[in-house]
Structure 1
Amino acid sequence: MSATTEYVSDDGEITLLVTNTVIDDWQFLKQDKKEKAEAFGVLIGGQNHDASQFWIKACTTPLAKDKSTRTSFYLKDTRHQKFVDKHFKESNGTSGYLGTWHSHPEPIPIPSHIDLKDWHSCCARNPDRKLIFVIVGISHFCMYHRTGKYFERICKESL
């Protein structure tokens, strides 16, 4: 794995390793100007057996067939799945779909009702693993995961 940054959950129970390339993508795509539309993609990585450690190796970014506005997005391009499949194959099954990320035009992002509904759907489609969800704000990004029926912020980090 290329250079990474380590983040530890607020309660100290979860460690997240994120490649600097992913952080660079989020930094570049954050909505720090009014004309920037919402950015988004899928997270590719893995987790250990008890889901106490996650690693995000790569992410997709908006592609030609995707749609977005300042406050919404539609992940439509089939190349997102092809990117996940490629990483899965090249890693012999150790890296795959880990969740989604998107941006918000606010300094410290808070998930919307639509975000939470979408995340529940993602979890229902992937019952075999814990997923991670990231919202990239203007000054911080926040990572979330589901605990029971609710989503909990794992950490809030500066960009």
Structure 2
Amino acid sequence: MSIAMVFQKPNGGRLGVADAALDIMLSYRQQGPTDTEAGGVLIGRFIRDSDDVIVDIATQPMPGDRRRRTSFYRSKRAHQEAIDEAWRTSNGTHTYLGEWHTHPEPNPSPSMTDLQDWRKRIRRDTFHGDTLHFLIVGQNEVGAWEMRGGLYLPYFRPQAIRMQRTPEGED
């Protein structure tokens, strides 16, 4: 499994995104005027003796999710089943790391709704550690943030990471 994208975290660690996970997220970019937001959960692993984290799996939109042009609601049950299955089949190494979704803008930034949702997830979700990771897939860039204790921090300067992939047939 190769790492397609790496973000520098504020604590000096890195957030790596595997090819397969990135491909899933990029396949839902909102390039057309009527494309709806999509999203899912990030599943992966913590690298021992470091502050590095790897996203191996990004779930796709599932039955029960609600998709609109500028909003996405993730249902709990189907995505939780994916998290549970990843945990079981990895012998406890793959876990819930956070969330991803799309925005219909070139260079994504979190909306007030996103920030409220992230704060709610920090309070209510069960996860390892004290940080959740959030990716927003824009039309030209992928943005990454962490939420810790109600504060969100960007993982990169927006100009530092540019999208490296194009949809099939646009190379």
Does the alignment reach a TM-score above 0.5?
yes
How much identity, in percent, do the aligned residues show? Answer: 32
**Cα separation, 1, equivalents of 2:150 and 2:38:** 27
State the SS of the aligned residue for 2:82.
helix
> 1:1-150 alignment to 2 at 5 Å?
2-9=1-8, 13-48=12-47, 52-76=51-75, 78-125=77-124, 126=126, 128-129=128-129, 130-150=131-151
**Cα separation, 2, equivalents of 1:131 and 1:74:** 18
Pairwise CA RMSD: 2.0
- Equivalenced residues, count: 158
Structure 2 letter corresponding to 1:4:
I
State the SS of the aligned residue for 1:97.
strand
**Cα separation, 1, equivalents of 2:145 and 2:127:** 16
Structure 2 letter corresponding to 1:79:
A
Aligned residue in 2 for 1:158: 162
Which stretches in structure 1 are left out of the alignment for 5+ residues?
none
What is the CA distance between 1:7 and its match in structure 2? 1.2
State the SS of the aligned residue for 1:30.
coil
Which stretches in structure 2 are left out of the alignment for 5+ residues?
164-171
Mean Cα deviation higher: 127-136 or 24-33:
127-136
What is the CA distance between 1:112 and its match in structure 2? 0.6
Structure 1 letter corresponding to 2:136:
I
* 1:3-39 CA distance string (max 9 Å, x none): 2225141768121221101111122111111121001
**Cα separation, 2, equivalents of 1:16 and 1:52:** 9
Structure 2 letter corresponding to 1:158:
R
**Cα separation, 1, equivalents of 2:127 and 2:88:** 21
What is the CA distance between 1:128 and its match in structure 2? 4.0
- Does the CA-based 8 Å contact 1:14-1:154 persist in structure 2? no
